[in-house]
Structure 1
Amino acid sequence: MSAAWDSADHPTPVSVGPLGWVLMLLRGMTLATVVLVGLVILLAIRLIERPLYGQGRPVTPHITQIVCKIAFWIMGLRRAVIGTPMRHRGAVVANHTSWLDIFSLNAAQRIYFVSKSEVASWPGIGWLAKATGTLFIERNPKHARKQTEVFQQRLLDNHRLLFFPEGTSTDGLQVLPFKTTLFQSFFAPELRDVIWVQPVTVLY
């Protein structure tokens, strides 16, 4: 079994020269601009979309997906999808390797992330997550029932929710024990026979 990221066996660092840093800066600025422009367009459309469809988002997820696809072109990375992304409502469960997972998984299909509540207060990232429909959950058992109801409602609204069942990031070459709390919602009588669950592996 491979070692996790917190082991002593870390990946070998890559040396970056002056030209490399300039290229990274240019790509970073371009990516930030594309994300910002995409966010402005998304928020503008959401002003019309929300009164008409409520939790339903027939247009804005396409914007998120397009921005994430463009991000790979800006970063100079090739992307390949093996298999057919789920088109039904339900859950997509995936491993978590790095921040790049956000772009990878959004580019492959229209999804909404499930994230810990702390992320909502992070500068920049929290605002972006809220705008794109991320579902925030608290790990406090006292709120488990209420969160399950919210989770179920999003699924009944035909959303595809993505979460990382391992609850942490790894090197992507192993599977850690799952945190099973979120799976409880799938067994509710009104959901059990009408939603789908698709396992996904992200590999770089």
Structure 2
Amino acid sequence: MSQTWHSAEAPEPVTVTPAGWLRVLLRGGPLALLLLVCFPLLLLIRLIEAPVFGQRRPVTPYITCFVCRSAFALMGIGFSSRGVPMAGAGGVVANHSSWLDIFALNARHRIVFVSKAEVAGWPGIGWLARGTGTLFIERNRHKAREQQQMFEDQLRAGQRLVFFPEGTSTDGMRVLPFKTTLFQAFFTPSLNRDMQIQPVTVIYRAPRGESPRFYGWWGDMGFGTHLLKVLSAPRQGAVKLVYHPPVQVAAFASRKALAAHLEQTVRGGLPFINGSE
């Protein structure tokens, strides 16, 4: 995992007007209620699901999908996707621009997120991440083998593991070089040689009149401040997922070659870079 990305230009300041605070209540209130109802339900079902199915989660991911799609509707943010999410066990990699990425990727597909260990302690987000089965990894080489084994166990259980190879979020206008460490688990000889990884490009369209970096969350930006910015906006934009064709891990000689191909594919999907959408 890399250090937090900082832009050359400072983020736009966040100012909430009285009308903006009203929008925060009108959007945030139903959103909070949604989480207060569905999250305990998810935990309750997981109490039954875990001893019966173990690491497999045949029911609770549908609750997560419902909550995430509903969250976009309640916030007024448009959501769409193009392409077909892959079936079966494997990996999913995407560019990382915002905490909203987690909602977007969960809204379309049944997945398991992989995140840095620090996220587990974040107020709100960490609580939700733990409940939805996120795998937390530490930047500690002494635990590398243990964490690789955790990956392998999840893949053998049929899970699709989602991670952000950039290792940090950006302003949504670029794709940073992919880190290769987490790809090593997919080259384990005992795993199915047909194992696949699907690249996904996450594209944000800012509200009309706002900076194209509006939904980006990076550097020292606080979660609470950014959440207020999003909820108080007079108009909202949209997020779009582009699912590229999955690739077979066995087709690549090394994790570096695999990561380079996936990075190029994800970057190629950004309209700001290739000039099209």
TM-score scaled to structure 2, two decimals? 0.68
2:48 corresponds in structure 1 to: 48
Q: What is the distance in 2 between the residues matched to 1:147 and 1:179? A: 16
Counterpart-to-counterpart distance in 2, 1:12 and 1:138? 32
Aligned mates of 1:115, 1:105 — CA distance in 2: 14
> What's the CA shift string for 1:79-107, capped at 9, x where partnerless?
11011112221111011101111111110
Cα distance between partner residues in 1 of 2:175 and 2:67: 30
Name the amino acid aligned to 1:101: D
The residue type paired with residue 79 of structure 1 is: F
Comparing 159-168 with 22-31, greater Cα deviation is found at: 22-31
Contact 2:120 2:129 (8 Å CA) reproduced: yes
Give aligned-pair identity as a percent.
61
What is the number of equivalent residue pairs in this alignment? 201
Which segment is superposed worse, 7-16 or 90-99?
Answer: 7-16
* Match of residue 171 from structure 1: 171
In the alignment, structure 1 residue 198 sits paired with structure 2 residue 198: yes
Instruction: List alignment gaps of at least 5 residues for structure 2.
Output: 205-277
Q: How does 1:116-127 map to 2 (within 5 A)?
A: 116-127=116-127
2:141 is the counterpart of 1:141: yes
Q: Residue type of the partner of 1:149?
A: Q
What's the counterpart of residue 85 of structure 1?
A: 85
For 1:57, the aligned partner's letter is: R
TM-score by length of 1: 0.92
Amino acid at match of 2:122: W
Say which SS state the counterpart of residue 86 (structure 1) adopts.
coil
Q: Amino acid of the residue matched to residue 93 of structure 1?
A: V
CA displacement 1:35-93 (0-9 Å, x = unmatched): 12111110111111111101110000000000000001100111110111122211110
| RMSD over aligned Cα atoms | 1.8
Alignment of 1:18-29 (within 5 A): 18-29=18-29
- Give how far 1:12 is off: 4.9
CA offsets 1:130-182 (integer angstroms, 9 cap, x no match): 11010011110000011101111101101111100000111223221111110
| Structure 2 residue matching 1:92: 3-state secondary structure | strand
